[in-house]
Amino acid sequence: MSESYDQPEETAKNEMVSGARRRLLLALAAAPSAAFANTDPTAGLKRWGNGEFRRFGFLVYEATLWAGDDPQRPPLALRLDYKRTIAGAAIAEASVKEMRALGADEAALKRWGEQMTRIFPDVKAGDFIVGQYETGVARFYFNGRLVGEVADADFARAFFGIWLDAKMSAPGLRAALLRRSL
């Protein structure tokens, strides 16, 4: 007689486990596409301009800017498509040099340089880095994957000033980025 009472309970327990397992599998299957959809730093932004950065005549990278209505204020995203092999530490060092020329203070530059050295990967031709600038934070994506962020409004402003500040070192590139694409 005890078998007749145990069997319905056992069946109900198996159905609950099976239903929970099914929900978990569905959630796991949906997770990659949901995560990808939320990591596009250009989502919701308009494509502005693009241009090339050359050093000693050699093409280093092509840059493309995405922004809202004002390409000099967050939110915005800047994509650099690299054409050469460059060490991440060299990218950080060049960024510090450019921010220094725009007037950033040395204590901040030391701290920021260390943060960028930890974040920026070595790149080769075909790789890309996207910098995303939102109010108070800069995020960095390497070949579509988030690699780090600096939650410091002064850093974000100084870093994106490398390309957008009127006193930046490559005014032709700045003009090309700020020129609205049709």
- Confidence band of 8 (pLDDT split at 50, 70, 90): low
Q: Stretch 1-6: mean pLDDT, rounded? A: 50
Q: Is the pLDDT of residue 45 over 70?
A: yes
pLDDT (tens digit per residue) in 136-174: 999 999 999 999 999 999 999 999 999 999 999 999 999
Specify burial of residue 180 (Cβ count, 10 A radius: 0-12, 13-18, 19+).
Answer: exposed
Q: Is the pLDDT of residue 20 over 60?
A: no
Q: How far apart are CA 106 and CA 43, in angstroms?
A: 34
Name the pTM for this structure. Answer: 0.78
Domain 46-178 has CATH 3.50.70.10: yes
Q: How far apart are CA 18 and CA 110, in angstroms?
A: 55
Q: How far apart are CA 55 and CA 173, in angstroms?
A: 12
Joined tokens for residue 119:
């974040």
Q: Stretch 108-123: mean pLDDT, rounded? A: 98
